[in-house]
């Protein structure tokens, strides 16, 4: 059986790590070659992705190890500029393995689009007229994408909300669609635009906006894990993490930072797979505020055995088809390395990384603080920026950490000394 569990993975060279990833994910030599170049995205391909392209911004891509999710092992590519993120996720996943890893569920790949209808004389009657036209509207929306219908997707329902506003009552129709393995923005936006004239006719109002909602609360993924108290460092650490979580649960100032730590795990996988990071951020934070007060996206409790139990529930509008995921060669390979078979599976893996990342941060914060671990990794960046060459990086880092002086000026001084 394939295992993602590694000891001392961090001690390998990038080439050795790539060889391990290639073995795990059955990569071809051509795929390995592509992953070894720092310019795998051709400038002309990039030019077709966005406008005014003049260069490419490469990011380091690490791989998180040790993840077991629903009894399946994953190696997880993470593209991110922040040190310590990949190490922390891998470390947390190793602790979670003791009690079986991560367990998931989801609400399916269901997206909402909103259609804003104004100047309706009788909004309550208009609401019911839209419900009466439900089948007809679904038929029109579903005529737009026969492929999606053949895969079991398509518009499935509608909701109608009447929302008072300073300009008068607005009738807001929500188009609810199953977008299968697509992120779904294009799918639901096309459907919403196609329905607009029919909706104007039905309601007698004027349609303005026709656009998806990033508050993808019908596209939730849920992940749960039990973390063995001994693996964590004892029951005192469990209590510390529960206190740390409770702080975020009741205080929006802390919740913002707590959730940022979750996004430290989530966004790098979203980036690596070519998905829309802004959509994920918007959905996550809007969901965290859904009850009128911004709060934690995770929960942490102590179970009757004294172990730590964590959960996350988060909107996850990611896709495997369409967008950069299929166009960007590295994003395609990231999906292959993950070995995910559906957008929903990808979403669950991403949320598991978020939960792991959150646990790692809370554990550090509730015990020794994050600076010691963070600083030794940060020190590498400082050393490189100060001109340390590969032969002296480790020495410069060790000296800065030992002296607790992780600073550019001190690094420059050390480099000067070492280079004689
Ligand atoms: C740093 O990037 C993330 C943390 O601040 C998260 C947290 O405070 O929970 C460590």
Q: What pLDDT is attached to residue 121?
A: 97
Measured in angstroms, how far is the CA atom of residue 325 from the centroid of ligand 1?
A: 28
Yes or no: say if 192 and 210 are a contact pair by the CB < 8 Å rule: yes
**Which residues of the chain does CATH 1.10.8 include?**
372-419
Percent of the chain with pLDDT over 90: 89
In short, whether 261's Cβ falls inside 6 Å of ligand 1 is yes
Least confident of 5-9, 114-118, 234-238: 5-9
Question: Pairing between strand 102-106 and 220-227?
Answer: antiparallel
In short, whether 258's Cβ falls inside 6 Å of ligand 1 is yes
Q: How many residues does the chain have?
A: 420
Res. 158 pLDDT band, cuts 50 70 90? very high
372-419, what's its fold?
Helicase, Ruva Protein; domain 3 (1.10.8)
Residue 92 has pLDDT above 80, yes or no: yes
Residue with tokens 């089948």: 135
Q: What pLDDT is attached to residue 199?
A: 98
Residue 144 to residue 350: CA distance in whole angstroms: 30
Q: Is the dihedral of CA 285, 288, 289, 294 positive or negative?
A: negative
For the CA atoms of 259, 246, 76, 109, the dihedral, rounded to the nearest 10 degrees, stands at -70
In short, whether 370's Cβ falls inside 6 Å of ligand 1 is yes
Phi, psi torsion values for 192, nearest 5 degrees: -65, -40
Res. 377 pLDDT band, cuts 50 70 90? confident
Residue 216 to residue 183: CA distance in whole angstroms: 11
Residue nearest to atom 4 of ligand 1 (CA): 261
At residue 28's C-alpha, the angle toward residues 24 and 33, to 5°, is 105
| Mean pLDDT, range 109-135, rounded to an integer | 98
One-character DSSP codes across 173-213: EEEEEE-TTB--HHHHHHHHHHHHHHHHHHHSSEEEEEEE-
Residue 215 to residue 220: CA distance in whole angstroms: 10
Q: Strands of 229-286 (E only): list them.
A: none
Residue 126 to residue 121: CA distance in whole angstroms: 9
Res. 368 pLDDT band, cuts 50 70 90? confident
In short, whether 115's Cβ falls inside 6 Å of ligand 1 is no
Contacts of 59 (CB under 8 A, 6+ apart): 79, 80, 81, 271
Among 229, 328, 374, 378, which one carries the catalytic annotation?
A: 374
Q: Answer yes or no: 281 catalytic.
A: no
Class for domain 9-107+219-367, per CATH?
Answer: alpha beta
Residue 146 has pLDDT above 90, yes or no: yes
Residue nearest to atom 2 of ligand 1 (CA): 261
pTM: 0.92
Measured in angstroms, how far is the CA atom of residue 358 from the centroid of ligand 1?
A: 8
Least confident of 49-58, 80-89, 297-306, 376-385: 376-385
Q: What pLDDT is attached to residue 261?
A: 98
Q: What pLDDT is attached to residue 378?
A: 83
Q: What pLDDT is attached to residue 322?
A: 83
Decide which of 381 and 99 is more confident. Answer: 99
Q: Answer yes or no: 174 catalytic.
A: no
Element (H, E) at 154: strand 154-163
Least confident of 65-69, 183-187, 379-383: 379-383
Question: Pairing between strand 170-178 and 154-163?
Answer: antiparallel
In short, whether 257's Cβ falls inside 6 Å of ligand 1 is yes
Measured in angstroms, how far is the CA atom of residue 181 from the centroid of ligand 1?
A: 31
Residue 55 to residue 37: CA distance in whole angstroms: 16
Residue with tokens 């300073």: 166
Percent of the chain with pLDDT over 70: 100
Residue 407 to residue 58: CA distance in whole angstroms: 25
Least Cα distance to 83 among 278, 338, 373 occurs for 373
Yes or no: say if 344 and 296 are a contact pair by the CB < 8 Å rule: no
H helical segments located in 98-133: 123-132
Which CATH code of 3.30.70.20, 3.40.50.300, 3.30.70.420, 3.40.50.1700 fits the domain covering 110-212? 3.30.70.420
Digit-coded pLDDT (tens) for 321-364: 988 888 899 999 999 999 999 999 999 999 999 999 999 999 99
Q: What pLDDT is attached to residue 39?
A: 77
């Amino acid at each position: 059986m394939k295992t993602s569990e590694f000891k001392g993975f961090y001690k390998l060279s990038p080439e050795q790590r790539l060889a391990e990833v290639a073995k795990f994910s059955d990569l071809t030599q051509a795929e390995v070659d592509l992953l070894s170049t720092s310019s795998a995205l051709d400038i002309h391909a990039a030019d077709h992705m966005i406008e005014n392209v003049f260069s490419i911004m490469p990011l380091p891509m690490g791989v998180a190890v040790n993840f077991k999710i629903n009894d399946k092992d994953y190696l997880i590519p993470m593209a991110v500029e922040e040190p310590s993120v990949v190490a922390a996720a891998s470390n947390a996943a190793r602790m979670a393995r003791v009690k079986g890893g991560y367990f998931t569920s989801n609400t399916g790949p269901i997206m909402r689009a909103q259609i804003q209808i104004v100047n309706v004389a009788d909004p309550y009657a208009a609401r019911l007229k839209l419900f009466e036209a439900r089948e007809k509207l679904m038929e029109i929306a579903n005529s737009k994408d026969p492929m999606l219908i053949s895969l079991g997707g398509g518009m499935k329902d509608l909701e109608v909300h009447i929302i008072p506003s300073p300009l008068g009552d607005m009738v807001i129709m929500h188009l609810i669609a199953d977008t299968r393995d697509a992120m779904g923005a294009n799918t639901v936006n096309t459907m919403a635009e196609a329905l607009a004239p029919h909706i104007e006719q039905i309601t007698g109002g004027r349609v303005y906006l026709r656009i998806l909602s990033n508050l993808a609360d019908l596209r939730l993924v849920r992940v749960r894990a039990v973390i063995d108290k001994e693996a964590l460092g004892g029951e005192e650490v469990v209590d510390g993490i529960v206190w740390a979580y409770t702080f975020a649960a009741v205080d929006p100032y802390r919740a913002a930072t707590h959730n940022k730590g979750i996004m430290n795990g989530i966004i790098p996988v979203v980036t690596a797979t070519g998905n829309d990071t802004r959509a994920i951020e918007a959905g996550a934070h809007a969901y965290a505020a859904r009850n009128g007060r911004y709060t934690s996206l995770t929960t942490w409790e102590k179970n009757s055995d004294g172990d730590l139990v964590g959960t996350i529930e988060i909107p996850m509008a990611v896709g495997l088809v369409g967008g950069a995921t299929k166009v960007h060669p590295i994003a395609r390979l990231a999906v292959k390395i993950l070995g995910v078979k559906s957008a929903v599976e990808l979403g669950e893996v991403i949320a598991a990384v978020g939960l792991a990342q959150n646990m790692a941060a809370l554990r550090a914060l509730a015990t020794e603080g994050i600076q010691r671990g963070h600083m030794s990794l940060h020190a590498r960046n400082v050393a490189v920026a100060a001109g340390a060459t590969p032969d002296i990086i480790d020495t410069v880092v060790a000296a800065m950490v030992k002296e607790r002086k992780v600073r550019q000026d001190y690094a420059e001084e050390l480099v000067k000394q070492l280079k004689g």
